[in-house]
A and B are shown apart, each in its own frame.
Chain A
Amino acid sequence: MLWVDKYRPKTLDQITVHEDVAQNLKKLVTEQDCPHLLFYGPPGAGKKTLIMALLRQMFGNSAEKVKVENRTWKVDAGSRSIDIELTTLASANHIEMSPSDAGFQDRYVVQEIIKEMAKNRPIDTKGKKGFKVLLLNEVDKLSREAQHSLRRTMEKYSAYCRLILCCNSSSRVIEAIRSRCLNVRINAPNEEQIVRALDFISKKEDLQLPSGFAARIAEKSNRNLRRAILSLETCRVQQYPFSSKQTIPPMDWEEYISEIASDIMKEQSPKRLFQVRGKLYELLINCIPPEIILKRLLYELLKKLDAELKLEVCHWAAYYEHRMRLGQKAIFHLEAFVAKFMSVYKAFLIATFG
């Protein structure tokens, strides 16, 4: 088991990084009925950890017995019926899913699953009708239609289920939903907190962690606690005892993207573009989200770029990122960005060096 999982706080009391939030949540659940919740914050801040601890607080150990289901819903959409396939994680008391995986059909999924949950609501020991929790990931990636239909079902079935929504940025969640939820912002842990967490783990693992090294990991992790812990573990495997000058191995896909970036810088031609496409496919096959690819690629390209081009390149990256959200096939837009960059960069080279 990875350390991230091993040392993940299981209950609200164990949580150290967002202690205040955890205590508030605990009060909320024990004292009264819990409202719909919307957790938002950068990746690796601890949203999921909080949510899982909260579920355990609400339902006890049964929340941990989760099974994966690959379910197909038959949805009646006007004239025809659509089959939608989606992976869910479910326990007796909650269902977790990422409806945005269903793409443009996400709104049907949201409605259907809530209706279905409402049909068979669990009855608790005291004979009181309980409720189920629906945990929706990546709400910010839901289409606008889906968010609107979510809003309606939320009101209609609020007696039967509680929604816990989880996303990176609340700005992409419509106002109507935000106002119906208790918004909980989970900000990224600062480097001190990360260092403390790393120290905690290395003590448990019986490791000597030089403080400078921990700080470096924390810095490299970009305030992502999960990333920091994973890095610590890889470093442990790479070399122990730690030396404070030790390199922190990057993720393989990141390295792959930096390779792509240097490919792009080396040659700008349709042929090279075709090769780059092949590599992008490779990343997509491995489920690296296209937005992350684009972001990372931009990051890598900016590192090698002349200052005067940076603005323009960023502009185009934003432009194509937006189009990627509008569109459906990410590769079209990723490739369009690469082509645009090549075109801009080549013109720049010709202008500077003749």
Chain B
Amino acid sequence: MVMGKRNSVIVLSSDDENDGTTCSLSGSNSYAKSKSRSTSSRRKKKARLSGSRSRSSKDSSKLYEINELGEDFNEVFTGFNVSAAGTHRNHSGELWVHKHKPHFLEELAVHKKKVEEVKMWFEKRLKPSQGISSSNVLLITGQAGVGKSAAVHVISSHLGAILCEWNTPTPVIWQEHLHNSSSGTQYISKLDEFETYVERIRKYGLLSTYLNGESKAPIIVLIDDLPTTNGKAAFGRLQDCLHLLVRSTQIPTVIVFTDYGNSDSADHDAQCLEKIQLSLQSAGACKIAFNPITANSIKKALFRICQLEQCNVSAEQVDLIAKASGGDIRHAITSLQFFCLERNQVHSLSLSSNFLSVSREKEKKSSNFLSVSKEKEKKAITLDDGYSLHFSRDETLSLFHALGKFLHNKREFESTTKYEHDTFLIRERFVRLPLKMDVPEKILCHAHVQPGPVADFLHENVLDFMNEEAIDDASIVSSYLGDADILLAKLRGMASRYNEAEGVLPSAAASVAVRGVLFGNSHTLSARWHAVRGPKLWGVERESLYNKNKMLKQRVAEFEGLTSCNASVIATEYIPVSKWIGNRARGEYHESPQLLADDLDMDGIDFDQMILDDQENDDEIEDW
């Protein structure tokens, strides 16, 4: 959106000849403090398509300030462009993301069910007949660019409601503040502003104050951007104020949370958001989580845009863009625009061929299981003038997602390997079908995980994903995991001496573990639901260390002095015997050899907490 045009004020009527949706508006300037904004007419698309402007200003008394009118205009002009000079449409300087915003429910790339869910929620709240419903706050969560705000916009316009947005105030820089302070402007913290805003909508229902009840359209408040908080106190304030909002607001309110991916869950901010979400939910807010958009929906959307823009992008390229976007449609559209732009203007030479060669290269890579090194992969990317992958988003994967890929081990159904590339032939039993995923090392890179844990996780879970009969596979896999373990152990031994070795060895170990699993598990189960567990091994290691110390202490306490035995002797000989004797003496001898774990009580240590809680991995493992 072009900011310069944003503030233009236009008078126009809400003519009723079109599809029921009225023009809506907002008052971002007139109402200085309430930073609310709303979407504009939904008719612009129609207008653009027809290339003519059917709106006429009537002498209506209703004056609306159209906030996004600039955009409207822009669109109209581009619309004219279409009819006038079809070739230049790419240079209108507008982002396609805004230009091709979804305007109808059908255009939303979000999954229909989710849209329906949100719509239902709104309908329930907006129906005047319905009494006070449970809560008027809806939380929408999802990754960046999955169409959270877009969905709200479209649905509200579909329902003919006015959408008021909390507009994040521009942050004040320190210099600016110094400059302003001389002129007497006081600094207001953004959190304060937000608080007063929330307070107002909560108490007075906000819009009635400046809409003067003129519009009968229902109002929806959208809070898209929560102020950042620093420190516990500020966070507490934000939480309290939102909590109050959930409890008492009368207007349907949507709060949009952006998940930053679970991989960075150590991040403090993400944790805060998580906390807020939970507290709001417990206060009665309804939560709808948006999943990343599927590659297919993105493709559809991209094709639609391609059609509108009349640009020539092959299906293959669209496919690649869609896949590279990682479920982020905003990113996908921008990539598409960039891609088209690049070819048309900047880089007319051989980009597409380059581009294709990369994709072919990739294919070859994944089919050729034996080509290993990460270095090579990197080279392949950088070789192509750095252009080819400009549009791909730096994808991050959660650990569980990556594990899911490795464990499910999806492969093509038939070998497409062309033997002209491979100068050597592989023996029958070593041949595997090409992988249906990126090079494993790349996935590991994306998942940002330590090699040790990867091996542990794979070890814990891989047996679940194996065919019942395939014990040979199991033995191959476990041998490879053993190799990985040896590599990791080597590293540990000399970590301090050879620092430069630290980088290569663990990634080699992780690579061996992953590839071992992929290679060994040659008779995969058909796709089935499996939960991924956290490694039990960690708990076992801790427990055994704890028991060892305890054993030693006990032994010394019992026989002060002359004991001095090493732990293995105590564990294998003394403990069993004294236990046996103890049981016998108490007359509680059991015929079956119960292991001694129950005797060494675990007081004081909570192992459950140590074992990674694996609730979070539930829907991670599905591949979308």
- Once A226-B569, A226-B573, A287-B567 are accepted as A-B contacts, the answer to whether A252 and B486 lie under 8 Å apart by CB is no
**Which A residues are CB-close (under 8 A) to B573?**
226-227, 230, 251
**Which B residues are CB-close (under 8 A) to A77?**
496
List B558-578 residues whose CB lies under 8 Å from chain A.
Answer: 558-578
CA distance A67 to B584 in the complex (A): 30
**Which A residues are CB-close (under 8 A) to B493?**
104, 143, 145
User: Is there an interface contact between B584 and A346, defined as CB atoms closer than 8 Å?
Assistant: no
Segment of B74-82, B172-180, B413-421, B544-552 in the binding face? B544-552
Q: Does A199 contact B (CB under 8 A)?
A: no
User: Is there an interface contact between A253 and B544, defined as CB atoms closer than 8 Å?
Assistant: no
Taking the nearest CB of chain B, how far is it from the CB of A294, in angstroms?
13
User: Is there an interface contact between B566 and A5, defined as CB atoms closer than 8 Å?
Assistant: no
**Which B residues are CB-close (under 8 A) to A281?**
536-537, 540
**Which B residues are CB-close (under 8 A) to A335?**
459, 478
User: Is there an interface contact between B566 and A332, defined as CB atoms closer than 8 Å?
Assistant: no
User: Is there an interface contact between B466 and A270, defined as CB atoms closer than 8 Å?
Assistant: yes
Interface size class of A (residues with CB under 8 A): 35 or more
CA distance A214 to B493 in the complex (A): 47
Q: Which residue of A has the minimal Cβ distance to B557?
A: A68
Q: Does A336 contact B (CB under 8 A)?
A: yes
Q: Which residue of B has the minimal Cβ distance to A272?
A: B471
**Which B residues are CB-close (under 8 A) to A145?**
493-494
CA distance A233 to B548 in the complex (A): 24
Q: Which residue of A has the minimal Cβ distance to B577?
A: A230
CA distance A137 to B469 in the complex (A): 45
User: Is there an interface contact between A288 and B537, defined as CB atoms closer than 8 Å?
Assistant: no
Residue in B486, B544, B566, B577 whose CB lies within 8 Å of A323:
B486
CA distance A180 to B573 in the complex (A): 32
Q: Does B18 contact A (CB under 8 A)?
A: no
CA distance A89 to B556 in the complex (A): 9
User: Is there an interface contact between B468 and A253, defined as CB atoms closer than 8 Å?
Assistant: no
User: Is there an interface contact between B482 and A342, defined as CB atoms closer than 8 Å?
Assistant: no
**Which B residues are CB-close (under 8 A) to A101?**
548, 567
User: Is there an interface contact between B467 and A52, defined as CB atoms closer than 8 Å?
Assistant: no
Q: Does A13 contact B (CB under 8 A)?
A: no
CA distance A292 to B568 in the complex (A): 9
User: Is there an interface contact between A66 and B537, defined as CB atoms closer than 8 Å?
Assistant: no
User: Is there an interface contact between B593 and A285, defined as CB atoms closer than 8 Å?
Assistant: no
User: Is there an interface contact between B496 and A5, defined as CB atoms closer than 8 Å?
Assistant: no
User: Is there an interface contact between A332 and B482, defined as CB atoms closer than 8 Å?
Assistant: yes
CA distance A87 to B554 in the complex (A): 13
Q: Which residue of B has the minimal Cβ distance to A51?
A: B564
User: Is there an interface contact between A238 and B584, defined as CB atoms closer than 8 Å?
Assistant: yes
User: Is there an interface contact between B564 and A326, defined as CB atoms closer than 8 Å?
Assistant: no
**Which B residues are CB-close (under 8 A) to A78?**
496-497, 499
CA distance A187 to B388 in the complex (A): 72
**Which B residues are CB-close (under 8 A) to A68?**
552-553, 556-557
User: Is there an interface contact between A270 and B581, defined as CB atoms closer than 8 Å?
Assistant: no
User: Is there an interface contact between B489 and A332, defined as CB atoms closer than 8 Å?
Assistant: no
Taking the nearest CB of chain A, how far is it from the CB of B256, in angstroms?
43
**Which A residues are CB-close (under 8 A) to B197?**
none
Q: Does B579 contact A (CB under 8 A)?
A: yes
Q: Does B283 contact A (CB under 8 A)?
A: no
- Once A68-B556, A270-B468 are accepted as A-B contacts, the answer to whether A48 and B565 lie under 8 Å apart by CB is yes
CA distance A323 to B596 in the complex (A): 28
**Which A residues are CB-close (under 8 A) to B475?**
336, 339-340, 342-343
CA distance A346 to B471 in the complex (A): 8
CA distance A251 to B570 in the complex (A): 12
**Which A residues are CB-close (under 8 A) to B455?**
332
List B431-480 residues whose CB lies under 8 Å from chain A.
Answer: 455-456, 459, 463-464, 466-475, 477-479
**Which B residues are CB-close (under 8 A) to A253?**
572, 576, 595
User: Is there an interface contact between A234 and B580, defined as CB atoms closer than 8 Å?
Assistant: yes
User: Is there an interface contact between B558 and A271, defined as CB atoms closer than 8 Å?
Assistant: no
Q: Does A241 contact B (CB under 8 A)?
A: no
**Which B residues are CB-close (under 8 A) to A252?**
576, 579-580, 593-596
User: Is there an interface contact between B463 and A270, defined as CB atoms closer than 8 Å?
Assistant: yes
Taking the nearest CB of chain A, how far is it from the CB of B521, in angstroms?
10
User: Is there an interface contact between B469 and A329, defined as CB atoms closer than 8 Å?
Assistant: no
Q: Does B597 contact A (CB under 8 A)?
A: yes
Q: Does B71 contact A (CB under 8 A)?
A: no
Q: Which residue of A has the minimal Cβ distance to B553?
A: A68
User: Is there an interface contact between B467 and A270, defined as CB atoms closer than 8 Å?
Assistant: yes
Q: Does B485 contact A (CB under 8 A)?
A: yes
Q: Which of A8, A103, A269, A282 has the most CB of B within 10 A?
A: A269
User: Is there an interface contact between A2 and B574, defined as CB atoms closer than 8 Å?
Assistant: yes
Q: Does A300 contact B (CB under 8 A)?
A: no
Q: Does B233 contact A (CB under 8 A)?
A: no
Q: Does A307 contact B (CB under 8 A)?
A: no
**Which B residues are CB-close (under 8 A) to A211?**
none
Taking the nearest CB of chain B, how far is it from the CB of A291, in angstroms?
9
Q: Does A219 contact B (CB under 8 A)?
A: no
7 A-B pairs with C-beta separation under 8 A: A5-B562, A79-B499, A237-B581, A256-B595, A269-B468, A285-B547, A331-B540
Given contacts A64-B561, A286-B571, A340-B479, 5 further A-B contacts (CB under 8 A): A226-B569, A284-B540, A326-B486, A331-B540, A342-B475
**Residues on B facing A (Cβ under 8 Å):** 455-456, 459, 463-464, 466-475, 477-479, 481-482, 485-486, 488-490, 492-494, 496-497, 499, 536-537, 540, 543-544, 547-549, 551-553, 556-581, 584-585, 593-597, 600
